[in-house]
Amino acid sequence: MTDLCHEIADIMRREQSFLILTHYRPDGDAIGSQLALTLALRDLGKTVEAWNDDEVPAKFKFLPGVNLITKPPVTPKAFDVVISIDSSTWQRVGTSADKIASKKYFINIDHHVSNEKFAQLNWIVTESPASGQIAFDLIKRGGFKLTSDIAQCLFAAISTDTGSFMFGNTTATCLRAAAELVETGINVGELSRHVYESYPYARLRILQMALADLKLTDHKHTAYFWVTKDMFATSGAKREDTEGLIDFARSIEGVVVALLFEEMEEDGKFRVSFRSKNSKVDVNSIARHFGGGGHREAAGARLTGLPQDVETRVLAAVTTALQTAGI
């Protein structure tokens, strides 16, 4: 047991009121990790709240305890302990940060290499494929009960951040953790249907529009496409429906870097997702150049400007990275 793991586990036992936070626009790792810690603390008889600026994506609403995640309150509240999980920066928890009146302990649990270590206690395990893996370690090594409900949340977290155990970040350790989670009695088939086979038709419509304009550059080593406000309006898709679309570009043979440019609701603001299939090309470094971050193989950033300018700047940075890597 690491010192930090032991220290955090002791705080969980000793203190009474907790707030569990994760980043806005939450993905499976964020939701699964947040719920797992919330349920573990409730099982200890603690007072626990979980906040997020954004709604839980529809495909994760089957997870146990999902109704415990609420929007931040109007009036700030005080807690003994505030835990942020799977958020590389404090800014990414959104307006929740402004609704904390006071706290005795501030804990940051994460696996992003770009984590800014913004809390009092920072448990950052960059070699972990998912924050859900760290939450699993905390629950197991901390001596807390691993229930089937908690296991469902953790399996969803680890599965989604490893691309259903297909990405290069999949390790023997996380596969052993997944096996232990399954042994609690969770139904992997049913869970996978919710997470991977329950997409709304609108997602397929916006995917069709986006892929129609997919482009290859850098001798076909870079694939990129756009999702625009007009596409959202025409398809009826929600913002959460773009999750995973970049994997279609990433899956093309010969592609090393995949990019998804998403036009945000605010004029002149864009979200760019980066994926790399070659360890020599670190997309976290590229994203950090634009004020973002993430992992070596998966990262994101938000940019402002004109669409063509944003595209040109990002593609130029990717070209430089590929050339530096000798690709």
Residue 167 pLDDT > 90 = no
Provide mean pLDDT across the span 265-286. 94
| Arithmetic mean of pLDDT, 150-161 | 97
Burial class (CB in 10 A: 0-12, 13-18, 19+), 76: exposed
Q: Is the pLDDT of residue 204 over 50?
A: yes
In the chain, where does the domain assigned CATH 3.90.1640.10 lie?
3-196
| Average pLDDT value for residue range 120-147 | 96
The reported pLDDT for the residue numbered 1 is 40
What mean pLDDT, rounded, does the chain reach? Answer: 95
pLDDT value, residue 50:
98
Q: What is the mean pLDDT of residues 19-35?
A: 97
- What is the rounded average pLDDT of the residues 293-311? 94
Local confidence band at 132 (pLDDT 50, 70, 90 cut-offs):
very high
Q: Is the pLDDT of residue 171 over 80?
A: yes
Among candidate residues 75, 11, 61, 60, the one with its CA nearest the CA of residue 37 = 11
pLDDT band at 235 (very low <50, low <70, confident <90, very high): very high
Q: Distance between CA 121 and CA 6 in Å, rounded?
A: 12
pLDDT for the residue 3: 86
pLDDT in tens, 60-95: 999 999 999 999 999 999 999 999 999 999 999 999
Residue range 201-324, CATH number = 3.10.310.30
Residue 320 predicted with pLDDT over 70: yes
Residue 219's Cβ-count burial label (10 Å; 0-12, 13-18, 19+) is exposed
DSSP per-residue string spanning 159-193: HHHTTTTTSTT--HHHHHHHHHHHTTT--HHHHHH
Of the pLDDT bands very low, low, confident and very high (cuts 50, 70, 90), residue 168 is confident
Structure tokens at 141: 């090594």
pLDDT at 2 over 60: no
**Backbone phi and psi for residue 180, each to the nearest 5 degrees, phi listed first:** -65, -35
**pLDDT (mean) for 237-248:** 94
Q: Identify the sign of the CA torsion 171, 174, 180, 186.
A: negative
* Percent of the chain residues topping a pLDDT of 70: 99
Burial label, 301 (beta-carbon count in 10 A; 0-12, 13-18, 19+): buried
**Helix 148-161 with 172-182: angle, nearest 10 deg:** 150
Q: Which residue in this structure is represented by tokens 């005795």?
A: 104
Q: What is the DSSP letter of 128?
A: S
pLDDT at 144 over 90: yes
Tell me what pLDDT residue 157 has.
98
CATH number of 3-196: 3.90.1640.10
Block residue for tokens 């197991």: 140
Which carries the bigger pLDDT value, residue 2 or residue 295? Answer: 295
List every span in the chain annotated with CATH 3.10.310.30. 201-324
pLDDT at residue 10 in the model? 96
